[in-house]
Chain A
Amino acid sequence: MNFKKKRTRTYLFVYRRAPSPRPLPQTGGEGKGEGERSHVKRQTASVLVTSLIAVLMLCTGCLSIPETELLPGAPEDLETCFVLFPSGPWECVHKIEAVIQEGMSSSLLGITKGDPAGRKLHTLLLTPEGFILFEAEQQEDAISVLKAMAPFDSPAFARGLMEDVNLLFFPPQGRPSKLGKRADGALVCRWERPDGSRREIALSTVPKILLRDRHGDLAKEALLTPPFVNGLASQIELLAFKPAPYRLKMNLLSGTP
């Protein structure tokens, strides 16, 4: 569930229950009649409700997102969640459009080679001309940057890029903390990390991979568009919200096991 959508829904829920302004009653008499006193009461109630809405809206931003309730799933559902990832060694080439801000984007080529068994990754970013901007390898958690041209030469960029590649191409390790189906029938597999963050795979019409921070806020969301070629989605849209927002639109050019 998108964090922003959730906030919007909460707001709408409260809004619908807020009393709508009503016309003044026709007292037709002198002094402060019953109708006028009633109007003052309603005004006071209206102010209180408005304040309550404001408090609720503020608190909605402070609270972590509650987990979606899941109906119990079967053990074999775990394999279904893993269908989004290549099961063996692979290499792939993507056309990437990186959008840092709306109207500010860049076009790149991405090459990734991986081996899920050994948790090995080798990834490159190239200009359309074919020149290497960034190249790194990863074995388990150790990242080695082989080449990095400015502005892709910061350690933060290397960590962020490799986190994205891991998120998109490697299934989470270990047993999921939760496994089941949402009310809409989508199969969900959820893993808790030691730092409190969560990774979630949701198999709905558009399969999704989600990453939430330890507060439950959505940090990254990847939408994978079928068909899958050798375990690789034809199209991926990665939306990053935290710590820095950006969007990657990836089109699979080639993928081989």
Chain B
Amino acid sequence: MKKWARNKILHLCSAMAVAGLVSVMPGYTQDWASVKESFRNIRSVKAEFLQERHLQILKDPLVSQGRFFYLASGALRWEYLSPLQSVMLQKGDSARLYHFSDGAWKQDLAQGVEARRMVLAELSHWLQGRFEESKIFSHVYSPSPSGRILLTPKEGINRFILGIEIVLSDKPGVIDRVEIAEPGGSALRIVFRNVEINSSLPSELFDKP
């Protein structure tokens, strides 16, 4: 159970970023019920992201770039373009992980894939605005000064994550960034850009790396 919780948290943050990004919110003055309703209008999301990993050991953050594609019908492609090239593909209940090396995509060792699958299952709840069903976080929606959702870990998880903040951009329906605070001063910050909502996404994006 302890390992399950650890593994789940391991990939929770990227999933949270997706959840935050796809939370299309019509305006910051909306109440929580309206915000939740807006989740259900999402059919697809396409976006790029810049990820900064702040660690006590490093003077400068570790910066990664990537992109992701999401279909509300149950498919996700979460891809890093640099410094590592890796991609996680989820379709239905199956999740696969690949990395690019020596000119070819290689399936990654199975470690962590199961944990990712579990997190992705939880993510699908969030994408439908079902935050109440999370067994890991409690949530608070704050409409001002800028729209944001604060997620607080429940007992046990706070050893790994102190809190998650999903900050909305000025553009309605788009998330500006996700910030995850960890014990010991470490943090993860993901800034999104070029977000496209409900555009047409070819299904092969979710089949092949």
Query: Chain A residues in contact with chain B, CB under 8 A?
Result: 91, 93, 95, 97, 100, 103-107, 109, 111, 113, 122, 124, 126-133, 149-151, 249, 253-254, 256
Tell me the smallest distance from the CB of B54 to a CB of chain A, in Å: 9
Q: How many residues of B contact A (CB 8 A)?
A: 30
Instruction: Among B10, B55, B64, B99, point to the contact of A97 (Cβ < 8 A).
Output: B99
Q: In the assembled complex, which residues on chain B have CB atoms less than 8 Å from the CB atom of A150?
A: 3, 6-7
List residues of B whose CB falls within 8 A of some A CB.
Answer: 3, 6-7, 10-11, 13-14, 51, 53, 55, 57-60, 62, 64, 80, 83-86, 99, 101, 106, 108-109, 111-112, 186, 188
Say yes or no: A253-B99 contact (C-beta < 8 A), given A124-B57, A126-B53. no
Q: Is the CB of A127 within 8 A of B10?
A: yes
Total contacts A-B at CB 8 Å: 76
Q: Are B7's CB and A100's CB within 8 A?
A: no
**Of all chain A residues, which has the CB nearest B61?**
A130
Please list 15 pairs of residues, one from A and one from B, whose beta carbons are closer than 8 Å in the complex, sorted by A's number.
Answer: A105-B101, A105-B109, A106-B108, A109-B83, A111-B55, A124-B55, A124-B57, A127-B11, A128-B64, A128-B80, A128-B86, A128-B99, A130-B64, A149-B10, A150-B6
User: Are the CB atoms of A106 and B111 closer together than 8 Å?
Assistant: yes
Query: Secondary structure at chain A's binding surface: helix, strand, loop or mixed?
Result: strand
A124 to B62, CA, bound (A): 13
Give the residue of A93, A130, A151 whose beta carbon is less than 8 angstroms from that of B188.
A130
With contact pairs A127-B10, A130-B62, A149-B7 given, residues A106 and B83 touching in the complex (Cβ less than 8 Å):
no
Partner of B57, one of A91, A97, A253: A91
Q: Are B86 and A111 in contact (CB under 8 A)?
A: no
| Distance, CA A119 to CA B3, complexed state (A) | 33
Whole-angstrom distance between the alpha carbons of A124 and B13 in the complex?
18
Give the chain B neighbours of A126 by CB distance below 8 A: 53, 62
Given contacts A127-B11, A149-B6, 4 further A-B contacts (CB under 8 A): A103-B106, A107-B84, A128-B84, A151-B111
